[in-house]
């Protein structure tokens, strides 16, 4: 996880006052402070961090290793390692996460699904279940 290693740097900023229509692909780290209508995801499989500021409104799918949200997302969220929901976070869509930290006040309207490796959760055999 990022706690044990240095986090990727925030190399990109889409500042407040801008409005983006279209998908955004980023490298390592990005901070969003504006309205975006489109999907956001890293370009490659290198470690990534995405920060959604309180002023940001995203309409589209959001994907990164580590995502920190304090704004609004209308779409699915996939945080492969860590999802941090700050008090003003608002998500309207399904969420999948490796680990979750949720502050009081954050709201999710959708399904929460943990990303688990096969070694973490054994498959359930319906025939082996007691009746």
- 89 lies in a domain? yes
Res 116: pLDDT: 83
Average pLDDT for 71-99: 97
Q: Quick one: pLDDT band at residue 119, thresholds 50, 70, 90?
A: very low
Lowest mean pLDDT among 29-33, 74-78, 116-120, 124-128: 124-128
- 23-37, 76-90, 105-119: range with lowest mean pLDDT: 105-119
Find out whether 47 and 2 touch, Cβ atoms under 8 Å.
Answer: yes
Number of domains in the chain: 1
Domain-located, residue 62: yes
> Is the per-residue pLDDT at 4 higher than 70?
no
Whether residue 63 is contained in a domain is answered as yes
DSSP string covering 75-127, please?
A: S-EEEEEEEEE-TT-EEES-EEESSEEE-TT-EEES-EEE---TTTSPPP-GG
Tokens linked to 30 = 């990005």
Assess if residue 128 is contained within a domain.
no
pLDDT band at 125 (very low <50, low <70, confident <90, very high): very low
Q: What is the pLDDT of residue 72?
A: 98
For residue 2, is it within any domain?
no
Whether the pLDDT of residue 117 is over 90: the answer is no
Are 42 and 26 in contact by the 8 Å Cβ rule? The answer is yes
DSSP state of 18: -
Domain that holds residue 104: 12-113
Q: Is the pLDDT of residue 127 over 90?
A: no
Q: 70: which 2 tokens?
A: 């304090």
Question: Given a cut of 90, is residue 107 above it in pLDDT?
Answer: yes
131 located within any domain: no
- Domain assignment present for residue 120? The answer is no
Confirm whether 19 is domain-assigned.
Answer: yes
| Model confidence pLDDT, tens digit, residues 28-45 | 999 999 999 999 999 999
């Amino acid at each position: 996880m990022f706690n044990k290693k240095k986090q990727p740097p925030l190399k990109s900023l889409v500042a407040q006052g801008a409005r983006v229509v279209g998908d955004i692909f980023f490298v390592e780290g990005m901070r969003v402070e504006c309205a975006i209508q489109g999907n956001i995801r890293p370009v490659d499989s290198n470690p990534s961090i995405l920060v959604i500021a309180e002023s940001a409104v995203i309409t589209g799918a959001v994907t990164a290793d580590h995502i920190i949200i304090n704004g609004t997302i209308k779409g699915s969220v996939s945080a492969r390692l860590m999802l941090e929901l700050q008090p003003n976070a608002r998500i309207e869509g399904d969420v999948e996460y490796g680990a979750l930290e949720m502050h009081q006040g954050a709201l999710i309207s959708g399904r929460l699904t943990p990303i688990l490796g096969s070694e973490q959760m054994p498959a359930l055999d319906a025939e082996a279940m007691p009746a």
